[in-house]
Structure 1
């Protein structure tokens, strides 16, 4: 009896072609793929989660890989599904890496350097002012989110005074701030799949911004990581329990060490344009993902 998995993978940026390659390789191993299983269109009833006529909870595995279209409803069903079938990534790993504070807290607990951070209660403005006086510059980050959205650099009292009413308006009970790290405005994005190093590229902030995220105007360039960077990325991915991870690392010029900024549970494949630049890790990434699905679905 052949195995059957569900997949929800982003289609933009060459994702549709990546999906076809994954499905083809899985078929060669007698694994059938039901694609485009968007849990937003699913219904839970009578002990099952239905997507059309498919009982998603009866599949051998669900592979969710779409960062840009997640909703609270989908995440809620994601959690329920992971109680009964294997997931890539697991719900626990997904939820952890979606939360900046929880990720940084766990990484530091395991000896992995991150920027200095504090979690503050909204009403404790005195404590926040002490942090500002101590750090001089800091970054406000939503505890969830991706692509650099919502990041605010706070480097004076005026910026802080503008931010606080916004936080109150958003009814945020707590917020997360990091000490601003002095670095060369470039980072490493290291892809790890199933504990193995897949590939790496660099990102550089634009002249008008300090964020390296492409969605914030950053640009991608070819970059080879050294053994230390790869080892840090592997350890961070393992600590977070991720089957697939993109680990963002920068070099702190003041502390003279590499620090992990973020562990992304849904790192994009190289786009067709990036492949033309020389980013050639897609095939290896696909092979490792297919190997992992094969292993996790064997009965």
Structure 2
């Protein structure tokens, strides 16, 4: 039987790519690394294919989308069009393009979660600074401002001062960006990252903010510990991943002490696993590649 060939669409060669190459040998697959800027496509003629350099993406056993790098609107739309076409050719794509489109957009992802009846933070998104300032006051004058597209806690700002809120909202408005506000959640000082793979919880960890940092992201220095989840928490994480349509997901949950329940903060469709693998001992990269390999057989 020929060796299955998988590819990773990536934006660089960092720790996660190195870990995937290590895991590829372990699970017996050939792994091609394809930078997003090399993606091109032909329509009509005798070679209508989507390629990345010399790699025929439509001839693979599976394609893993590791990261969607920044780009112009045209570039991002074209990349997603190409991924849709690869999936339409019958190649398993993780995550599916619709899931990537939903999860990368914090507003859309949160709306999908809420439509399933899942608890989410009270959130407002809009384009006008004046309305944002009124909403800031309605939300208790203590909000988290997030970029609509973003990950790993980058670009997030907590604002509890009206003057700073005014300046922040008008700056975002001038940039032509969306203003995205969430009421600050009073929590016990930690949250949960649950790694979901193909409808099952693969691993989970608690993340604690340290050194005066209010964000818990491990990439920002947060302390982590392995977590054992009760059935209700597992069900919540799985329902969140399913709502966004993911095969692979990092689901972030936090206890809202005022509401007395867990809320879903985010579903990440291109989740990192360096911290959760190191914390739990689970070989996440190997499990991802093995699952993608088996689906493509």
Which aligned runs of 4 or more in structure 1 are off by greater than 6 angstroms?
Answer: none
State the alpha-carbon separation in 1 of the partners of residues 219 and 17 from structure 2: 17
Q: Runs of 5+ in structure 2 lacking a partner?
A: none
SS in 1 for 2:173: helix
Given the alignment of the two structures, is residue 88 of structure 1 paired with residue 94 of structure 2, yes or no? yes
Residues 176-214 of structure 1: CA deviation (Å, up to 9, x unaligned): 211111112211000000001101111111232211113
Q: Does 1:259 align with 2:255?
A: no
TM-score normalised by structure 1 residue count: 0.85
CA distance in 1, matches of 2:169, 2:19: 44
TM-score, normalized by length of structure 2? 0.85
- What is the total number of aligned residue pairs between the two structures? 284
Residue among 92, 98, 111 paired with 2:104? 98
In 2 relative to 1, CA 18–39 (structure 1 residues): closer, same or farther, beyond 3 Å? Answer: closer
Q: Which residue of 1 aligns with 2:154?
A: 149
Distance 1:4 1:17 in 2: 17
Hey, what's the Cα distance between the residues in 1 that align with 2:239 and 2:114?
Answer: 12
Deviation track 1:242-297 (CA, whole Å, cap 9, x = no partner) reads 0000100000000000001111112222359x63xx521226x62354134312x2
CA–CA distance in structure 2, aligned partners of residues 14 and 107 of structure 1: 28
CA-atom RMSD in angstroms: 2.5
Q: Secondary structure at the match of 1:36?
A: strand
Q: Is the 8 A contact 2:173 2:179 kept in 1?
A: no
Following superposition of structure 1 onto structure 2, how do residues 179-218 of structure 1 map, counting pairs within 5 Å? 179-218=183-222
Distance 1:15 1:84, change over 3 A: closer
Q: 1:288 to 1:120 in 2, by over 3 A?
A: closer
Corresponding residue of 1:5: 6
Q: Distance in 1 between matches of 2:42 and 2:288?
A: 35
Once residues 17 and 112 of structure 2 are traced to their aligned partners in structure 1, the CA distance between those partners, rounded to angstroms, is 31
For residues 281 and 260 of structure 2, the distance between their equivalents in structure 1, rounded to whole angstroms, comes to 30
The 3 A distance-change label for structure 1 pair 294 and 210 is: same
Offset at residue 149 of structure 1 (A): 1.4
